[in-house]
């Protein structure tokens, strides 16, 4: 079987296009410009790249982008004050605090200080509870992107057997919850799972969110299954030249693609969907804040 490659780059561009259309409508019909604020504490190079690219894409879809860059030794009090100001700023509809935070800051406390209505990362405990009880919430961006790709490919995933490998709060657990809300039969696997190969072999849908390069081999994949690879792992690539690196996912792409019905590549699969869904969440938050209809197809 030759797997269909689910092109996340193309899909994400489509989502950003829908977001841009909605932003234009909000501006023209209601005089509202959705605003996204990103707070970055410290100088983590990967976080700086993410924040730059989030800011650029926010502006590209016509939204207002605000960045708060704070020193690595920023106190909790100062960070909470910035978030409080953003919570009370009517021009800001989405707030994201780039993780990881420096060790001296209490991540849970900071996340839960963001107004749930503006929590476009969907990490606030209220949004976790709303998602868990099948109510309207802000949904974490990466799992939302995976869900959109699965719905697009399958139409309905109702009744399908899904295995999520990984149980983190930002990917694995919300992913499993979204699949369950769409009536899939869901198994969550993790580092203590016995006979992971056997668990994965039963799945019609495999979502790998482990953080271990190419951990899932092709012979774990049921013939025709859909494989969503969330993993982003950077490996040395001496074959590309001295000091060069490459990105690989959590599944072994070639062998899994040989058995799967559909698969997301790394790079160019789930990754681009994450920022697209952040923008989608910001438009959704803006519509909800103003009592307007939400854009269709951009939420769970």
Q: List interacting residues with ligand NDP (CB under 6 A).
A: 142, 165-168, 170-172, 189-193, 196, 209-212, 230-233, 250, 270-271, 274
Question: 3-state DSSP call for residue 31?
Answer: coil
What the block records as the tokens of 112 is: 């839960």
Query: Cα(10)–Cα(51) distance, rounded to whole angstroms?
Result: 21
Least distance in angstroms from the C-beta of 117 to ligand NDP: 23
Cβ at position 165, least distance to ligand NDP in Å: 5
Q: Which own/partner pairs from 80-86 qualify as long-range (CB within 8 Å, at least 24 positions apart)?
A: 80/109, 80/110, 80/113, 82/39, 83/39, 83/110, 83/113, 83/114, 84/113, 86/37, 86/39, 86/114, 86/118
Q: Which residue, 86 or 270, has its beta carbon nearer to ligand NDP?
A: 270
Q: Which of 214, 229, 176, 204 is nearest to 8 (CA)?
A: 229
Q: What is the DSSP letter of 171?
A: T
Place of tokens 């994450």: 274
- In angstroms, give the least distance from the CB of 106 to ligand NDP: 18
Question: What tokens were used for 143?
Answer: 């799992």
- Looking at beta carbons only, is 26 or 206 nearer to ligand NDP? 206
Least Å distance between CB 295 and ligand NDP? 21
Residues 146/230, Cβ–Cβ less than 8 Å? yes
Q: Which is nearer to ligand NDP, 252 or 287 (CB)?
A: 252
SS3 (DSSP) at 67? strand
For ligand NDP, the nearest residue by Cβ is: 168
Nearer to ligand NDP, 230 or 260 (CB): 230
| Closest distance of CB 123 from ligand NDP, Å | 12
Nearer residue to ligand NDP within complex by CB, 110 or 209: 209
Q: Is 191 exposed, middle or buried (0-12, 13-18, 19+ CB in 10 A)?
A: exposed
| Unique residue bearing structure tokens 């100088």 | 43
Q: Active-site positions? A: 54, 98, 121
């Amino acid at each position: 079987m030759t797997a269909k490659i689910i092109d996340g780059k193309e899909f994400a561009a489509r989502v950003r296009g829908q977001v841009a259309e909605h932003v234009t409508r909000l501006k023209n019909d209601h005089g509202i410009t959705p605003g996204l604020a990103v707070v970055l504490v410290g100088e983590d190079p990967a976080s700086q790249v993410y924040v730059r690219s989030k800011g650029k894409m926010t502006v590209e879809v016509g939204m207002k982008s605000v960045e708060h860059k704070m020193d690595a030794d920023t106190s909790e009090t100062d960070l909470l004050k910035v978030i409080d100001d953003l919570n009370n700023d009517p021009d800001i509809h989405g707030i994201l605090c780039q993780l990881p935070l420096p060790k001296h800051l209490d991540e849970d406390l900071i996340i839960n200080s963001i107004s749930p209505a503006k929590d476009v990362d969907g990490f606030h405990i209220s949004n976790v509870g709303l998602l868990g009880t099948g109510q309207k919430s802000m949904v974490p961006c990466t799992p939302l992107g995976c869900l959109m790709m699965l719905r697009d490919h399958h139409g309905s995933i109702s009744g399908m057997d899904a295995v999520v490998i990984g149980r983190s709060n930002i990917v694995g657990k919300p992913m499993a919850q979204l699949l369950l809300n769409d009536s899939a039969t869901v198994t969550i696997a993790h580092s203590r799972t016995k006979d992971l190969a056997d668990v994965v072999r039963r799945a019609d849908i495999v979502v790998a969110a482990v953080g271990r390069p190419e951990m899932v081999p092709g012979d774990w994949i049921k013939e025709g299954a859909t494989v969503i690879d969330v993993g982003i792992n950077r490996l040395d690539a001496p074959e590309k030249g001295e000091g060069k690196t490459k990105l690989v996912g959590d599944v072994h792409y070639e062998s899994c693609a040989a058995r799967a019905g559909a698969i997301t590549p790394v790079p160019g699969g789930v990754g681009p969907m994450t920022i697209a869904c952040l923008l989608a969440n910001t438009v959704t938050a803006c519509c909800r804040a103003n009592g307007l209809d939400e854009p269709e197809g951009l939420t769970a």
